[in-house]
Structure 1
Amino acid sequence: MLAISRFRTDDPGFEDMARPVVDWWAARPGCLGIDLVRNLDDPALWAMVGRWDNVGAYRRSFNGYEAKMLLTPLLSRAIDEPSAYLPPTELGDNQPRTL
């Protein structure tokens, strides 16, 4: 499973803000790896790309006080878009969710 969170920022301190989140997430159970990357053509566009064993491991990584305190300040700056991806063969019939 891939988790991709994109950010648009000109903040020169963004990388320093994101690095502890990347390091913390990399140590969570089920995280196969996570990278902080910057767009080649647009220097204000960043992404965190994580690879996870499964959706459950990714979602459980948000549990707990420490996760909330560390993840919320950074993820609140993410571009508002879906972030979780699976190969089509694992996803099945992908129906939009309704409220």
Structure 2
Amino acid sequence: MDKVTRLVSENGLVLFSKSSCCLCYALKILFQEVGVTPTVHELDQDPEGREMERALMRLGCNVPVPAVFIGGKLVGSTNEVMSLHLSGGLIPLLRPYQSISN
């Protein structure tokens, strides 16, 4: 739990992922398209990954990955992020994390 909390508090945009997850990949592409670079933490490549998955579930994630945090707050998984994007609410949240060239 401490590692998850620390990663979320130290980074503005965090994506907890698994390298083989197609939904995680879709969110990585979405973020790339809108000009942001999240801190991506691949749980399947971390020895504490299973513990981190349990911590994410305790924090309110319906599924452990993908899990997106913006500004220290849990946004959710693919459905929540895509719904937010389609309703026009995602870009304003991401604006502080966009590169200057965008």
TM-score computed with the length of structure 1 as normaliser: 0.31
Larger of the two Rg values belongs to structure = 1
Determine which structure has the larger helix proportion and give its number. 2
Determine which structure has the larger strand proportion and give its number. 1
